Amino acid sequence: MSRQPPLRSLRCPHCGQPAIATTDNAFRPFCSERCKLIDLGAWLGEAHRIPLATPPDDVLDPSDESSVPGP
Ligand SMILES: [Zn+2]
């Protein structure tokens, strides 16, 4: 029989370590402040990064918006 307390646990999205999903964990769903900052930083980094390496399919797509007659 296990005596583990009924703590709501989940896995840290960054490192995969068990993280506490209660208000005791101010960094949930991350396991620690470090993981939270790292993951948040990575997310912001990707958001600010312009994907120049990827071919702009939207630009190659011929759009007829310019020929739409205005009101
Ligand atoms: Zn973590």
- Ligand 1 centroid from CA 70, angstroms: 53
Q: Separation of 60 CA from ligand 1 center, angstroms?
A: 41
pLDDT over 80 (residue 13):
yes
CATH pick for 7-48 out of 3.30.750.210, 3.30.70.920, 3.30.50.10, 3.90.226.10: 3.30.50.10
Amino acid at 22: T
Q: What is the pLDDT of residue 71?
A: 74
* Distance (Å) from CA 51 to ligand 1 centroid: 28
What are the residue ranges spanned by the domains of the chain?
A: 7-48
C-alpha 2 – ligand 1 centre gap (Å): 25
Q: Which residue has the tokens 């402040």?
A: 33
Examine the pLDDT at 4 and tell me if it is beyond 60: no
Ligand 1: centre distance to CA 10 (Å): 11
Q: 30-64, pLDDT tens digit by residue?
A: 999 999 999 888 878 877 666 666 666 666 556 66
How many Å separate Cα 4 from the centre of its chain? 31
